[in-house]
């Protein structure tokens, strides 16, 4: 029988056999963010389209080509979020989170959507771990979020990542840089792609980020933004570098980094790998001091980064970083007959109330098939019960790893009795691991 439909092109399923990898990484990310004083924020998957037009920038590929935008039945233009920062800023302003005190330090796990050509480890629905800090212009904050990302990669065991750093200045010094860029690209105007021609007057920096081979080649000899920084931006950048130096974080200066979104100012950075082909940027971010004002708030210097989950998982797989599968079942209770089946349900209920995991047969398998299933799901212990066991309230507990067997009471205090055996097993396992 043919499938009614298949998943949408550019999306992927995370199957039960792989979901533990996502959970493992997300739990580490949450713990890591909490250690830096960040709290989670959750925002809607769709927003009013104007939020991204104003926030992300109407000269970006994201707004011009990649957004999933549609009209509601009431005629309102809605867009599936293409990135996480604009929605977080909207939530900050609408809910006046800044009244809780500055800086506001948030993190999120967002699904994002961009209509672009599917490539290796790049999907139309993708997932980001995001960090946002609202309400500080101190260069130490720039160094802090870079350090957070750097130490997170270390904690995950990832090797051979290069931190690339740049400053793209503030609106004041960038205006002079734009003049120089425009003059340079005007001289090669006939060779630019159609998209870059439209950017020439509005935001010539976007041309530096063009993926067209011809435009990229032309951009190689373009003026460098670091040569146009004002004194304030130069000082800010030097301080960021000094903090990173003090934390012994290695980086290289890459004056070609501009990032793909219009809201960035001053510090921009990327963590890049050569292990994933052309899609080498695993994490990117920087400072966006004017974004909150652009979206209707008071001037509020801010910064953040986004880390692509799909690329991170692909990189860990490429570097053969194994994520241990979690234990799924502490006890499996197999049963023979209806009375035993009811008893098995009572037993697993007791174990679950004691915050351990337990399973019993809900399919109607034979005892042999039940035990095969218990082995397949990695049950640590098993018990087989029939009429005799129900009558006597006694059964045999089997350690599935060692084969050791022990008689155990299965009455109303069964959970307590089993817990003693289980704790002993865990302590022995821990002791053997240390040895």
Report pLDDT digits (tens) over 166-221: 999 998 998 899 899 999 999 998 899 988 888 888 888 888 888 789 998 999 99
Q: Are residues 145 and 85 in the same domain?
A: yes
Q: What is the pLDDT of residue 155?
A: 97
Average pLDDT, the chain: 92
Per DSSP, the residues of 335-388 read: E-SHHHHHHHHHHHHHHHHTT--EEE-SS---HHHHHHHHHHTT-SEEEEE-HH
Q: What are the backbone angles phi and psi of residue 40, rounded to the nearest 5°?
A: -75, 145
Q: Is residue 213 part of a domain?
A: no
Q: What is the pLDDT of residue 260?
A: 64
User: Tokens 């043919």 identify what position?
Assistant: 2
Q: Does residue 414 surpass a pLDDT of 70?
A: yes
Q: Of 135, 94, 105, which is closest to residue 302 (Cα–Cα)? A: 135
* Average pLDDT for 376-391: 96
Q: Are residues 39 and 84 in the same domain?
A: yes
Q: Does residue 146 surpass a pLDDT of 80?
A: yes
Q: Does residue 430 surpass a pLDDT of 70?
A: no
Q: Are residues 337 and 297 in the same domain?
A: no
Six token digits for residue 215: 């435009």
* Dihedral angle sign, alpha carbons of residues 85, 90, 93, 95: negative
Residue 435: band (very low, low, confident or very high) from pLDDT cuts 50, 70, 90: very low
Q: Is residue 27 part of a domain?
A: yes
Contact 116, 66 (CB under 8 A): yes
Q: Is residue 392 part of a domain?
A: yes
d(C-alpha 379, C-alpha 372), whole Å: 10
d(C-alpha 250, C-alpha 313), whole Å: 23
Six token digits for residue 151: 């130490």
Q: Are residues 30 and 156 in the same domain?
A: yes
Ranking 267-271, 401-405, 420-424 by mean pLDDT, the lowest is: 420-424
pTM: predicted TM-score of the whole model, two decimal places: 0.90
Percent of the chain at pLDDT exceeding 70: 96
Q: Is residue 47 part of a domain?
A: yes
* Average pLDDT for 153-159: 96
232-272: per-residue pLDDT in tens?
A: 999 999 999 999 999 999 999 999 888 767 788 999 999 99
The DSSP secondary-structure symbol of 424 reads H
Choose one of 318, 343, 375: the last residue of a domain: 318
Q: What is the pLDDT of residue 258?
A: 82
Contact 251, 244 (CB under 8 A): yes
Q: Does residue 432 surpass a pLDDT of 60?
A: no
d(C-alpha 369, C-alpha 154), whole Å: 44
Six token digits for residue 20: 């533990």
Q: Is residue 189 part of a domain?
A: no
- Burial, 346: exposed, middle or buried (Cβ in 10 Å; 0-12, 13-18, 19+)? middle
Q: Does residue 422 surpass a pLDDT of 50?
A: yes
- The three-point CA angle 273-86-168 to 5° equals 55
Choose one of 295, 318, 341: the last residue of a domain: 318
Q: Are residues 58 and 108 in the same domain?
A: yes
Q: What b/e readout covers 152-188, taking b as 16+ CB neighbours within 10 angstroms?
A: bbeebebeebebbbbbbbbeebbeebbebbbebbeeb
Q: Are residues 293 and 360 in the same domain?
A: no
Q: Is residue 212 part of a domain?
A: no
* Average pLDDT for 332-356: 96
Six token digits for residue 102: 């500055």
d(C-alpha 115, C-alpha 79), whole Å: 12
* Average pLDDT for 146-171: 96
* Average pLDDT for 132-155: 98
Q: Are residues 359 and 306 in the same domain?
A: no
Looking at per-residue pLDDT, the higher value among 3 and 66 belongs to 66
Q: What are the backbone angles phi and psi of residue 315, rounded to the nearest 5°?
A: -65, -40
d(C-alpha 17, C-alpha 15), whole Å: 5
User: Tokens 């939020």 identify what position?
Assistant: 51
Six token digits for residue 388: 């005799």
Domain that holds residue 266: 16-170+230-318
Neighbour tally for 269: CB within 10 Å: 27
Q: Are residues 136 and 161 in the same domain?
A: yes
Q: What is the pLDDT of residue 425?
A: 67
Q: Is residue 51 part of a domain?
A: yes
Which residues fall within 8 angstroms of residue 365, CB to CB, at 6 or more apart? 373
Residue 380: band (very low, low, confident or very high) from pLDDT cuts 50, 70, 90: very high
d(C-alpha 278, C-alpha 274), whole Å: 8
Contact 266, 233 (CB under 8 A): yes
Domain of residue 280, CATH code: 3.30.930.10
Q: Is residue 70 part of a domain?
A: yes
Q: Are residues 338 and 313 in the same domain?
A: no
Domain of residue 355, CATH code: 3.40.50.800
Which residues fall within 8 angstroms of residue 127, CB to CB, at 6 or more apart? 109, 110, 111, 112, 308, 309, 310
Q: What are the backbone angles phi and psi of residue 80, rounded to the nearest 5°?
A: -65, 135
Choose one of 287, 318, 349: the last residue of a domain: 318
Q: What b/e readout covers 101-118, taking b as 16+ CB neighbours within 10 angstroms?
A: eebbbbbbbbebbbebee
Q: Are residues 299 and 339 in the same domain?
A: no
Is the bond preceding residue 292 a cis peptide, omega within 30 degrees? no
Contact 126, 310 (CB under 8 A): yes
Contact 405, 415 (CB under 8 A): no
Q: Are residues 263 and 160 in the same domain?
A: yes
Q: What is the pLDDT of residue 135?
A: 98
* Average pLDDT for 374-384: 95
Q: Does residue 398 surpass a pLDDT of 80?
A: yes
Residue 47: band (very low, low, confident or very high) from pLDDT cuts 50, 70, 90: very high
Q: Are residues 306 and 165 in the same domain?
A: yes
| Number of compact structural domains in the chain | 2
Residue 131: band (very low, low, confident or very high) from pLDDT cuts 50, 70, 90: very high
């Amino acid at each position: 029988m043919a499938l009614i439909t298949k998943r949408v092109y550019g999306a992927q399923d995370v199957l039960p056999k792989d979901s533990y990898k996502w959970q493992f990484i997300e739990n580490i990310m949450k713990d890591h963010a909490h250690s830096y004083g960040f709290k989670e924020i959750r925002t809607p998957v769709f927003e009013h389209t104007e939020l991204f037009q104003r926030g992300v920038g109407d000269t970006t590929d994201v707004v011009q080509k990649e957004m999933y935008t549609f009209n509601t039945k009431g005629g309102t233009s809605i867009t599936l979020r293409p990135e996480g920062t604009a929605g977080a800023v909207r939530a900050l302003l609408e809910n006046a989170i800044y009244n809780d005190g500055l800086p506001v330090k948030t993190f999120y796990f967002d699904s994002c959507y961009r209509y672009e050509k599917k490539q290796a480890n790049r999907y139309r629905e993708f997932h980001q771990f995001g960090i946002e800090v609202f309400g500080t212009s101190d260069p130490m904050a720039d160094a802090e979020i870079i350090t957070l990302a750097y130490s997170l990669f270390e904690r995950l065991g990832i090797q051979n990542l290069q931190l690339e750093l740049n400053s793209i200045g503030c609106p004041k010094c960038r205006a002079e840089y734009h003049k120089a860029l425009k003059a340079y690209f005007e001289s090669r105007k006939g060779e630019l792609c159609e998209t870059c021609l439209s950017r020439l007057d509005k935001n010539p920096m976007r041309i530096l980020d063009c993926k067209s081979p011809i435009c990229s080649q032309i951009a190689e000899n373009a003026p460098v933004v670091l040569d146009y920084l004002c004194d304030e931006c130069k000082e800010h950048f030097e301080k960021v570098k000094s903090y990173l130096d003090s934390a012994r974080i290695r980086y290289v200066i890459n004056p070609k980094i501009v990032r793909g979104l219009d809201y960035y100012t001053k510090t921009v950075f990327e963590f890049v790998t050569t292990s994933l082909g052309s899609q080498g940027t695993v994490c990117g971010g920087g400072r966006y001091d004017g974004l909150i004002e652009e979206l209707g708030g008071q001037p509020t210097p801010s910064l953040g980064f986004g880390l692509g989950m799909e690329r991170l998982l692909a990189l860990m797989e490429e570097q053969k970083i194994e994520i241990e599968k979690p234990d799924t079942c502490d006890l499996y209770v197999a049963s023979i007959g209806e009375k035993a089946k009811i008893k098995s349900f009572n037993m697993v209920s007791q174990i679950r109330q004691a915050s351990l995991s337990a399973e019993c047969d809900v399919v109607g398998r034979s005892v042999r098939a039940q035990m095969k299933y218990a082995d397949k799901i990695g049950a640590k212990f098993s018990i087989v019960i029939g009429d005799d066991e129900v009558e006597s309230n006694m059964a045999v507990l089997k350690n599935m790893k060692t084969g050791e067997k022990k008689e155990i009471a299965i009455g109303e205090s069964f959970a307590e009795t089993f817990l003693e055996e289980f704790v002993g097993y865990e302590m022995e396992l821990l002791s053997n691991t240390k040895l």
